[in-house]
Structure 1
Amino acid sequence: MASEKAPLPFVYTFMAGAIAGVSEILVMYPLDVVKTRVQLQTGKAAAGADTYNGMFDCFSKIIRNEGFSRLYRGITAPILMEAPKRATKFAANDKWGKFYRELFGQTQMTQSLSVLTGASAGATESFVVVPFELVKIRLQDKASAGRYNGMIDVVMKTVRNEGILAMYNGLESTLWRHILWNAGYFGCIFQVRQLIPKAETKQGQMTNDIIAGSVGGTVGTILNTPMDVVKSRIQNTVKVAGQTPKYNWAWPGVATIAKEEGFGALYKGFVPKVLRLGPGGGILLVVYTGVMDFFRNMREAKGL
């Protein structure tokens, strides 16, 4: 990561990650809404006004039937989540990287250490994001229009009807989702940076970061989409006392979806997801690297 150029205090890593995360969510959020809608749709067939035949059909039906603003419904929760989420991602990756280099006696990152570090950062990040993700998923669902009046209403009704621990529904599947995505993302960033020519200019560095981040985001998305589908369904399920939810645990949920809807159903919402997290991964890395370089130059100018 860029932070290895010159070590910076934790607060700068945290702030850079937060700024990168909010920048990405503001640009790419509508794709996340479409992804969630498609993932929550069960069954193999899709026809009619309330079902979607893919990304473009979903976009057009949301805008036509619910209005353009619906593409940004629930954005408050992810914006509040993005700062701690992305900040935790990059800060944890930085801290875990140092920990593993010392543990294994390495002076530089390697491919295997990058994968291990990314997976550990993903697991750390999961504990921060689960409640925000649950609120976001429930607001993005089409049925939420008559069920919830906003973010606070989701929290209040979930806690009142299902208990406070319900805010952590889907923790296990979220752990798997973030472990797989971060391992693929940070592992690929390391590998791509080794393969492409070293940048000699600021513009060249930005281009390299876009390439590395986009490849990492794409690979991470390929790895974690099945867990993302399961997570969406687990978190959108309102638990009823005495009843076992259909989607309860990650791997059994994967098996259920594959059995009932076919293996391809595990990649529902993949196109909008990869269109968001492929380029989104590039945006994250470019903004994060740029902000870290800004902080580094600022400290050097002050003689710190």
Structure 2
Amino acid sequence: MSSDKPLGFQWQFAAGAIAGVSEILVMYPLDVVKSRLQLQSGKATGADAYTGMVDCFQKIVRNEGFSRLYRGITAPILMEAPKRATKFAANDEWGKIYRKAFGAEKMTQPLSILTGATAGATESFVVVPFELVKLRLQSKESAGQYKGALDVVSKVIKNEGVLALYNGLESTMWRHILWNAGYFGCIFQVRGLLPKAETKSSQISNDIIAGTIGGTVGTILNTPMDVVKSRIQNTPKVPGQIPKYNWAWPACGTVIKEEGFGALYKGFLPKVLRLGPGGGILLGTFIYF
């Protein structure tokens, strides 16, 4: 993100926070559906098994109530402000570092990808505990064990140890590296292809288009890592036992072996419906503020 007079860090942070909360309030039910589909193994059968996005949505509402689609929203709302703020602020700061390091006056496509990937790695350290809490509350199997976000934190620390809050850090880092690289790399490319914006409203429109395309490409790239991250974080740590899903790339191999390559894209439709338009909302809101 660059301009003739770039925003100060505090304004980058505030704009990213507002953009993130705006996006999650609109798109959160899709995230719940996405998580349910990702956590369902290929062997799931019976009346309660989900056959797809619409079926999952209907069964959650019918069997658990509409409010279940917002179960655990406290954690992501608390997470989204620092997460999205960190995303844009880190992208801006890393962009300055890389432009200086490579002697580039302006951003280029390769630098945009490198900057986005590094910002994604930075962002992952902020979001992992929030993601774990959110996922435990979204899961059909484990949600009944917890009363709310603070109860998840308390029980995870008590039963699994404080470091368990960072369970899935590696897979989360890969997920954010891939999404941010695709997102910010596409934004740079698409902005260059669109007609030059002459007004503030046309600039926002262009950025919504660029952000939507970027969000879609980022989702295509990172969905496999999101699937294994969900399974890693939903598996409680037991002393003396090696979890079935532990490290990102071996977990991908386990999923492919047991369920086929397509299983790495479980939950893709609700995920892309959220993060495609969500990427546009995110960028458009950020630019507006």
Specify every segment of 5 or more residues in structure 2 that has no aligned partner in the other structure, as ranges: none
Asked whether 1:12 is paired with 2:11, we answer yes
Deviations along 1:114-163, one digit per CA (max 9) or x if unpaired, are: 00000000000000000000000000001233211110110011000110
* Structure 2 counterpart of 1:57, from 27, 35, 55: 55
CA distance in 1, matches of 2:284, 2:78: 21
* Structure 2 counterpart of 1:207, from 202, 205, 208: 205
Deviations along 1:156-197, one digit per CA (max 9) or x if unpaired, are: 110001100000000000000000000000000000001111
TM-superposed deviation, 1:248? 0.2
Q: TM-score, normalised by structure 1?
A: 0.94
TM-superposed deviation, 1:47? 3.7
Structure 2 counterpart SS, 1:230: helix
Letter in 2 for 1:36: S
CA distance in 2, matches of 1:149, 1:24: 25
Q: TM-score, normalised by structure 2?
A: 0.98
- Corresponding residue for 2:226? 228
- Corresponding residue for 1:28? 27
Given the superposition, is the C-alpha separation of residues 44 and 151 from structure 1 closer, same or farther in structure 2, using an over 3 Å criterion? same
CA distance in 2, matches of 1:26, 1:46: 32
- Corresponding residue for 1:132? 130
Specify every segment of 5 or more residues in structure 1 that has no aligned partner in the other structure, as ranges: 292-304
Given the superposition, is the C-alpha separation of residues 256 and 187 from structure 1 closer, same or farther in structure 2, using an over 3 Å criterion? same
Residue 21 of structure 1 contacts residue 87 of structure 1 at CA under 8 Å; is this kept in 2? yes
Structure 2 counterpart SS, 1:143: coil
CA distance in 2, matches of 1:277, 1:134: 19
Map residues 152-231 of structure 1 onto 2, 5 A cutoff. 152-231=150-229
Letter in 1 for 2:105: T
Structure 1 counterpart SS, 2:278: helix
TM-superposed deviation, 1:55? 0.3
* Structure 2 counterpart of 1:109, from 107, 132, 135: 107
CA distance in 2, matches of 1:9, 1:38: 40
CA distance in 2, matches of 1:213, 1:46: 37
Letter in 1 for 2:193: L
CA distance in 2, matches of 1:145, 1:234: 16
CA distance in 2, matches of 1:191, 1:44: 41
Residue 115 of structure 1 contacts residue 184 of structure 1 at CA under 8 Å; is this kept in 2? yes
How many residues end up aligned between the 2 structures?
A: 289
CA distance in 2, matches of 1:5, 1:277: 29
CA distance in 1, matches of 2:258, 2:150: 35
CA distance in 1, matches of 2:214, 2:170: 23
Letter in 1 for 2:42: G
TM-superposed deviation, 1:44? 5.0
CA distance in 1, matches of 2:143, 2:103: 54
* Structure 2 counterpart of 1:262, from 260, 263, 270: 260
Residue 116 of structure 2 contacts residue 177 of structure 2 at CA under 8 Å; is this kept in 1? yes
Deviations along 1:252-291, one digit per CA (max 9) or x if unpaired, are: 0000001100000000000000000000000000000011
Deviations along 1:79-117, one digit per CA (max 9) or x if unpaired, are: 000000000000000000000000000010000000000
Structure 2 counterpart SS, 1:142: coil
CA distance in 1, matches of 2:133, 2:162: 13
TM-superposed deviation, 1:206? 1.7
Structure 2 counterpart SS, 1:107: coil
Residue 211 of structure 2 contacts residue 279 of structure 2 at CA under 8 Å; is this kept in 1? yes
Deviations along 1:22-66, one digit per CA (max 9) or x if unpaired, are: 0000000000000000000001554412x1001000000000000
CA distance in 2, matches of 1:282, 1:44: 36
Residue 136 of structure 2 contacts residue 143 of structure 2 at CA under 8 Å; is this kept in 1? no
Asked whether 1:77 is paired with 2:75, we answer yes
- Corresponding residue for 2:238? 240
Given the superposition, is the C-alpha separation of residues 274 and 36 from structure 1 closer, same or farther in structure 2, using an over 3 Å criterion? same
CA distance in 2, matches of 1:205, 1:46: 48
